Amino acid sequence: MTDAEDPNTTLRRFRHSIDNIDAALIYLLAERFKCTKQVGRLKAEHRMPPSDPAREEQQVARLRRLAEEADLDPEFAQKWFAFVVAEVIRHHEAAADDL
């Protein structure tokens, strides 16, 4: 921001960037859930458990490393992942119940 730039203009510019990032995140999450729903169907068809604790543990470690590299709080990344995994498992259980 330059000294002459109006703070409201700067705020609008920042918020526009945030809105674009939020939109991208929503579309990325939608793509992620399309993939995990396919995984859920595959697991249900083959009577595999809806959760995979070993895989989840590997992903937590991986995402924590990525968060550190990206200067993001690893605790936040882990909480986000736990939230997403809980929803994925719910979808996988529903897929198993549908068979």
**Side-chain half-sphere exposure of 95, counting CA atoms within 13 A:** 22
Domain spans of the chain, in order of start? 7-98
Q: What is the pTM of this model?
A: 0.83
Q: Tell me, which fold does domain 7-98 have in CATH?
A: Chorismate Mutase Domain, subunit A (1.20.59)
Residue 4 has a CB neighbour count (10 Å cut-off) of 5
Q: How confident is the model at residue 2 (pLDDT cuts 50, 70, 90)?
A: low
Q: How confident is the model at residue 98 (pLDDT cuts 50, 70, 90)?
A: confident
What pLDDT score was predicted for residue 3? Answer: 63
b/e 65-88 (16+ beta carbons within 10 angstroms → b)? eebeeeeeebeebbeebeeebeeb
pLDDT tens string 23-57: 999 999 999 999 999 999 999 999 999 999 999 99
pLDDT tens string 75-92: 999 999 999 999 999 999
